[in-house]
């Protein structure tokens, strides 16, 4: 494996500090809002669903696990493709199996982290990008409810990015042997959550 040696110690410590603070923020935000209003609602939206959270964190985790350049390519690819999916959702273009796709994203990405898969970068980007379309479509389809579409979009993109950073920060632990086990364990947990959601949708 290639440790992220080009990343300096303050950066790693800073991201770890971020990881310590972000989970309580996300945990406290798991409540449904009746109406979507601007930035706050956009920011909260990705944090209100465990399926979204686990997939976003998994993208960061996998990126960190793969090391540079995947560490930054995946979190760059995800929002770009997610926005494309979001545009489809906003424009009312139907996409079958959105919820199943989101559940699958947690399952597959969790397995990738747990297994420590190291495909070529383009394959990893393709996997992440494919799932990003489902997440984006789900966000986009709900976006017209927002009072201010602009601040809603900015809010939810920032929240998504911060979830990626949380995953990256946690994933940087792979430079230590115990951290590698912990990260893989995180992948197992994410895959289990994804499996739970998938089972729920299939059985419903």
Which residues bind to other proteins, rule: CB under 8 A? Answer: 6-8, 11, 68, 71-72, 75-77, 79-80, 82-84, 86-88, 90-92, 139-140, 143-144, 148-151, 153-154, 157-158, 161, 164
Decide: helix, strand or coil at residue 94: coil
In the complex with other proteins, which residue's Cβ is closer, 101 or 136?
A: 136
Q: φ and ψ at 69, to 5 degrees? A: -90, 0
Q: Which of 173, 102, 167 is nearest to 138 (CA)?
A: 102
Closest distance between other proteins and the C-beta of residue 163, in Å?
A: 12
In the complex with other proteins, which residue's Cβ is closer, 161 or 196?
A: 161
CA angle at 112 for the pair 71 and 159, rounded to the nearest 5°: 50
Decide: helix, strand or coil at residue 28: coil
Decide: helix, strand or coil at residue 107: helix
Q: Which two tokens stand for residue 115?
A: 């297994």
Closest distance between other proteins and the C-beta of residue 161, in Å?
A: 5
Positive/negative CA dihedral, 147, 151, 155, 161: positive
Closest distance between other proteins and the C-beta of residue 105, in Å?
A: 17
In the complex with other proteins, which residue's Cβ is closer, 56 or 191?
A: 56
In the complex with other proteins, which residue's Cβ is closer, 154 or 189?
A: 154
Closest distance between other proteins and the C-beta of residue 39, in Å?
A: 9
């Amino acid at each position: 494996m290639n440790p992220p040696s080009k990343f300096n110690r303050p950066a790693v410590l800073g991201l770890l500090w971020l990881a310590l603070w972000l989970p309580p923020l996300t945990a406290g935000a798991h409540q449904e809002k009746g109406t979507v209003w601007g930035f706050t609602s956009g920011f909260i939206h990705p944090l209100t669903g465990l399926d979204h959270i686990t997939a976003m964190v998994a993208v960061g985790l996998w990126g960190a696990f793969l090391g540079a350049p995947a560490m930054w390519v995946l979190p760059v690819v995800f929002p770009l493709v997610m926005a494309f999916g979001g545009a489809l959702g906003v424009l009312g273009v139907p996409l079958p199996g959105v919820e199943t796709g989101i559940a699958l994203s947690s399952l597959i990405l969790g397995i990738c982290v747990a297994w420590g898969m190291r495909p070529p970068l383009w394959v990893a980007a393709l996997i992440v990008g494919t799932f990003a379309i489902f997440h984006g479509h789900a966000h986009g389809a709900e976006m017209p409810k927002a009072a201010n579409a602009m601040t809603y979009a900015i809010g939810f993109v920032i929240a998504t990015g911060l979830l990626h950073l949380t995953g990256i920060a946690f994933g940087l632990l792979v430079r230590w042997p115990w951290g590698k086990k912990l990260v893989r364990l995180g992948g197992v947990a994410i895959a289990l959550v994804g499996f739970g959601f998938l089972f729920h949708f299939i059985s419903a």
